[in-house]
A = this chain, B = another copy of it.
Amino acid sequence: MAAAAVAGLSCVLCERTYAPEDVLYACPSCGPLGTLRVRYDYRWIAPEFQPRRLPRRKESLNMWRYYPLLPVGEGWRRFPLPVGWTPLTPAPRLRRALGLRNLHLKDDTRNPTASLKDRASAVAVVRALEAGYPEVACASTGNAAASLAGLAAAAGLSSRIFLPASAPRAKVAQLLAYGSTVYSIQGSYDQAFDLCVQACQRFGWYCRNTGYNPYMVEGKKTVALEIAEQLGWRCPDKVVVPVGDGCIISGVWKGFWDLYQLGITDRLPQLIAVQAEGSQAIRLALEGDGQLRPVKARTIADSISVDLPRNGAMAVQDIRASGGLAVAVSDEEIMHGVLLLARQAGIFVEPAAGASLAGLLKLLEANKVGASETVVLLATGGGLKDVDSVLKATDAPAAVAPALGAIVRRVEQER
């Protein structure tokens, strides 16, 4: 079952619909930017997907527990690494510091390759295996690439990665450790993206590119399904999401949408999109005429640094449908968010994820969050992926001679 659950695909630009077997990736009429929504027949799924019928074994605490709602067949049973079922943490000190008594952090840094992207890559790997592809590929600023490389390695698939030359070295090291074939494209993410699509067509590789592959949103939606389950099948008031290409935020929306359609929850959350000031094409479209126009992206948060958001049209539609909004934060505010999250909640994230806390602080300043609202902040990627930003934003440790007297003097200076 399950893969059969996909009833159709519809283009976010021209609204044409397609049967799932007729189209592999984006809309044939609109090209790569014509991203497709995956549609289900909920009447067919409803009997299969009931909270009280979800598996209870401890081994089933991973994203595949929701497989009647996922676009995969039985291939998920062979998937070797546990992805998902990451902690939803209450963060008592951060709650007090912000005056938000129902704040939760969804800690997706705990995934196998330390980012939320593992949820999408897991779907990509299972679909590639089920369709008999020996090789998978993607273009990525880093997290999607590392996640595809790691999960493909675990499953025995070769991976090819199209990386923009600016990717942080920790993300490059992850790829090399996992044994991917890495092409360092001497150009932007956007150039790497288009090149990867062309190379996949030419060589018959399975393409995991964000937006272009319609099933990545479906993998990412498992974060929303987990949040709802961890809240006792309640829907939060607001979900705060760092946004680059816009695929994660559409995944969050899709998960809550599925639950609402199935009658498991009785409402939908408001989406708060946080973009870097230097990469805010989605915010500009939302606050303007809704049309996406490329920017010249420049931000410390490499994971959300995008000229033309590849899932942007869908993200704009989803944020609007949720009654949500977008905020932009500076690089300085982003690093403040990283340090605040580490120091108040003990969760060390990369700059993109620090952006979500920075965005929440902006909402609080503007009195746009109520003290008793249930707010979920997504921690999308681990801080060890970009330590340079932290080393730049903090003072170097004090060098001290190995003698008690030297320590005593130092401690007394601090007072």
Contacts and interface: CB of A to CB of B under 8 A. Distances in A.
B114 A397 contact: no
Contacts of A169: 387, 391
A19 interface: no
Contact of A172 (B195, B203, B397): B397
A3 interface: no
A178 B112 contact: no
Nearest to A205: B411
A199 B412 CA distance: 12
B402 A195 contact: yes
Interface in A115-174: 150-156, 163, 165, 169-170, 172-174
B150 A348 contact: yes
A181 B408 CA distance: 14
A339 B179 CA distance: 8
Contact of A342 (B150, B172, B348, B391): B150
A92 B80 contact: yes
A50 interface: no
A170 B399 contact: no
A220 B188 CA distance: 45
Given A81-B89, A87-B82, A183-B410, A192 B402 contact: yes
Interface stretch (A28-36, A291-299, A319-327, A377-385): A377-385
A176 B81 contact: no
Interface in A71-126: 80-82, 87, 89-93, 107, 110, 112-114
Nearest to A154: B346
Nearest to A125: B346
Contacts of A172: 391, 397
Copy number in the complex reads 2
B114 A391 contact: no
A338 interface: yes
Interface string A372-395: 000000000011110100110011
A111 to B, nearest CB: 8
A128 to B, nearest CB: 15
Most chain B CB within a 10 A radius of its CB, from A152, A154, A347: A154
Contacts of A384: 114, 170, 173-174, 382, 384-385
Given A384-B384, A391-B172, A408-B202, A183 B400 contact: yes
A410 B411 CA distance: 57
A344 interface: yes
B338 A383 contact: no
A187 interface: yes
B401 A80 contact: no
B404 A202 contact: yes
A58 interface: yes
A150 B346 contact: yes
Interface string A333-373: 00000110011111110000000000000000000000000
Contact of A153 (B177, B346, B385, B403): B346
Nearest to A175: B397
A185 B342 contact: no
A407 interface: yes
A177 B402 CA distance: 24
A22 interface: no
Contacts of A91: 80, 154
A268 B320 CA distance: 60
Contacts of A176: 390-391, 394-395, 397
Interface of A: 58, 61, 80-82, 87, 89-93, 107, 110, 112-114, 150-156, 163, 165, 169-170, 172-179, 181-187, 191-192, 195, 198-199, 202-203, 230, 338-339, 342-348, 382-385, 387, 390-391, 394-404, 407-408, 410-411, 414
14 contacts: A61-B61, A80-B345, A113-B348, A151-B346, A153-B343, A154-B345, A154-B346, A165-B399, A173-B391, A174-B383, A177-B338, A178-B346, A186-B399, A384-B384
